[in-house]
Amino acid sequence: MSRVLCRLTDIPDGEGKEFDLERGGEDDEIFVVRRGDRIFGYVNSCPHVGTPLNWVEDRFMTSDKTLIMCATHGACFRIADGHCVAGPCVGESLRSISTVVRDGEAMLDKDKGRGDQS
């Protein structure tokens, strides 16, 4: 079973959008980054110290929109796999959330579980 997060068009291309989810009895803050017709979802927690990546609502990207950036320590992560390429947690990765786009909707794909993305 999948859960609709929003319309794909609600996320500007090259930007992110955050969501609060209750999953498995736990509350998760997640975010989704849009690249064209694809989305990439992650738990909103830096692997360095566990703080949210954004300090302003829906602001997750570097100024050139090529990387996800942690506002706390400046760590930078690849969009496609969440791997840290710069900053204090180089080599670590964001925790991915399974996402998919269907019929123009950004969705949490509960059938896939963590780690698989569309």
List the 2-7 sheet strands across, edge first. Answer: 2-7, 105-109, 99-102
Write down all domains in the chain, each with its CATH number in brackets: 2-109 (2.102.10.10)
Is the sign of the CA dihedral 1, 100, 34, 69 positive or negative? positive
**Does residue 4 have a pLDDT over 70?**
yes
Please check whether residue 85 is in contact with residue 79, taking contact to mean a CB–CB distance below 8 angstroms. no
Own/partner contacts of 81-85, CB < 8 Å, gap of 24 or more, are 82/40, 82/42, 84/47
Q: In this predicted model, what pLDDT tens digit does every residue of 75-114 receive, in sequence order?
A: 999 999 999 999 999 999 999 999 999 999 999 987 554 4
Q: Report the share of the chain in percent with pLDDT over 70.
A: 91
pLDDT over 60 at 115, yes or no:
no
What integer best gives the mean pLDDT of the chain?
90
Q: How far apart are the first and last CA of the chain?
A: 15
Q: Across residues 63-82, what is the average pLDDT?
A: 96
Q: What is the pTM of this model?
A: 0.88
Residue 31: its H or E element: strand 26-35
